[in-house]
Structure 1
Amino acid sequence: MCAPALVQPLSIRLRECPAQAHEHAEGSDFMTSLLGGDATPEAFTALTAQLYYVYDALEAAMRRHRESVWAGQIYDARLERRDAIATDLAFLLGPGWREEITPLPATRRYVERLEEADEIGVIGHHYVRYLGDVAGGQVIATMMQRLYGVSPEGLSFYDFSALGKIKPFRDDYRAALDGLDLTDAQAAALTDEAELAFALNSDVFADLAGEPAL
């Protein structure tokens, strides 16, 4: 059980409360296989394809709210990944990549949630996706090169060099979260949405594990 929302800084609450859902996503069969070297380059490409739909929806949602009181304090165009993923897919699948990919059922549900989420909800998804990407992106890119021979031209998604040093960026991001003027109920709703975001990612991984690779 999490402490009441106002007892802890929001950044701490977001780290601790969804911890079990976070571990479940990271420990999914698909990700365990991919990061353990037991998958294929095609599995990596399949993941990249699903992420295109997720980030297209997430970034459209964040742009809708970027002038708002709370989202405006979190929004940073340097984080946006959709165009980088498109570049990766063009390299991995060729210029006709859009005709070769389709969202899995879990991805469609994820997108629907992002499309219907309010400002508080979008911030929860923003935290889950981007802070995780920034934290582990370079490690994953290195592993994909080493394990599957993926060329750097197919790994633009994981390049956050535009942010500068990662630790100061992450510290500033957490400070911005802690500075949001939320009620207890709003902070709790944001944390709940972050937990849902991890569950939605787990569902996408489960669908990927059950699908033939591209």
Structure 2
Amino acid sequence: MNPADIENTPASKLLKSGTQIAHDLVAQSPTAMRLLSAQMPFATFVKYTIWLHELYDTLEASIQKMSSDPHLSPLNRLDVLARAPALKSDLTNLLSPSVKDLNLEKGEGNWRDHPFAVAVLKQLPSSLQTYRDRIRSATGLQLASHAYVRYLGDLSGGQIIQRKLGKAYMLEDLDAKQFYDFPPLDPSQEYPANAAEVKNIKGWFRHSLDIIAQSVEEKTILIDEASKAFIFNSDMFIDLEKHHVTAPELYLPGSEPAIQTQTLSPQTSYLKVLIALVLLVVIGYYKFM
């Protein structure tokens, strides 16, 4: 695309076309057909949720720190977008019933004190560390790119995943689906945001991106950093296969608990489904916008 076309095209549309390869990776993958089968171990699901918390905690701390940056301020609605508090609540409730002898009641205590969480947090993958370091060093405009990749995916693909995986992992029973619920833009409206309001949030987000980046240089920076964010996410997904964590085994309520510890090395078929799932969260808005 030549500079004139870039200048005349809204940033949100350029971002969509500029990350089309990532979209095709999911759309053309046979694993997407098995996406809704929920064939991943519960422990892998919780491990990835912990990784997500650490990622969002870093992203949202950086957004808060740079909230006055003119390239970021139009998107500074952490009251709507922030996912780290929701993930904290979900993790507390996901982990609370999984070890009978642990004095951690549902909705109380610190999820980081759970033996499984302690083990996972001590063995975070290098891909996640690299991703977080990049976010910490990002400019306001670059942070907007990272917010775009994560939040628009959560607002689209995440809504589908909530419905499909809720039953498999008892998310409703465990009160562990806050990650998928967004507040409305207007706090006087009902929580969580319904489908129409989620669409409004996505529209507001894209419009904010168009305000943030108007020059060719600004749009180029936005697209380049979004492309890097997709790579960081892909690297993190790959680590679900090669980065094993030695931790206490987890089980869903009603399942027989295991006494011994084990290494989290899910079977390849499970991992393919999980990789497709988290990719869909990142870029699902393309298909369901």
TM-score category (smaller protein)? 0.7 to 0.9
Is 2:10–2:214's contact at 8 Å kept on the other side of the alignment?
no
Q: Distance in 1 between matches of 2:57 and 2:130?
A: 14
CA distance in 1 between counterparts of 2:30 and 2:225 reads 23
Letter in 1 for 2:120: I
1:19 maps to 20
Asked whether the 8 Å contact 1:24–1:202 carries over to 2, the reply is no
Kindly indicate whether the alpha-carbon contact (under 8 Å) linking 1:110 and 1:200 is maintained by their aligned counterparts in 2. Answer: yes
* Residue in structure 2 matched with residue 190 of structure 1 by the alignment: 222
Structure 2 residue 9 is the aligned partner of structure 1 residue 8: yes
Give runs of aligned pairs for residues 54-203 of structure 1, distance below 5 A.
54-77=55-78, 78-94=80-96, 95=111, 96-97=113-114, 98-102=117-121, 103-151=124-172, 153-163=175-185, 164=193, 165-180=197-212, 182-203=214-235
| Identical pairs, percent | 29
Shift of residue 68, structure 1, vs aligned partner: 1.5
SS of the residue 2:7 aligns to? coil
1:26, 1:32 within 8 Å by CA — same for their partners in 2?
no
Counterpart of 1:197, as a letter, is A
Q: 1:135 to 1:27 in 2, by over 3 A?
A: same
Q: Deviations over 1:43-70 (max 9, x none)?
A: 2111101101110111011112211212
Deviation of 1:139 (Å): 1.2
1:120, distance to aligned residue in structure 2 (A): 1.2
Name the structure 1 match of 2:286. Answer: none
Comparing 179-188 with 118-127, which one deviates more in the overlay? 179-188
* Paired residues, number: 213
The whole-number CA distance in structure 2 between the counterparts of 1:6 and 1:197 is 23
SS at match of 2:70: coil
Amino acid of the structure 2 residue aligned with 1:127: Y
2:127 and 2:232 in contact (8 A); partners too: yes
Q: How does 1:37-52 map to 2 (within 5 A)?
A: 37-52=38-53
Deviation at residue 38 of structure 1 after TM alignment:
2.2
Return the letter of the residue paired with 1:196: K
Query: Aligned partners of 2:119 and 2:31: how far apart in 1?
Result: 21
Shift of 1:7: 3.2
Q: Distance in 2 between matches of 1:52 and 1:3?
A: 39
Contact 1:46 1:208 in 2 (8 A): no
Q: 1:148, CA displacement in angstroms?
A: 3.4
Q: Which of 1 and 2 has higher RCO (CA within 8 Å, sep 6+)? A: 1
- Cα distance, 1:181 vs. partner? 5.0
| Cα distance change of structure 1 residues 116 and 24 upon mapping to structure 2, 3 Å threshold | farther
SS across alignment from 2:8: coil
Larger displacement relative to structure 2 (68-77 or 25-34): 25-34
Matched residues in 1 for 2:35 and 2:43: separation? 10
Q: Distance in 1 between matches of 2:30 and 2:43?
A: 16
Aligned equivalents of 2:73 and 2:46: distance in 1?
A: 33
| Stretches of structure 2 lacking an aligned partner (at least 5 in a row) | 97-110, 186-192, 245-263, 267-289
Distance (Å, rounded) in 2 between the aligned partners of 1:3 and 1:62: 31
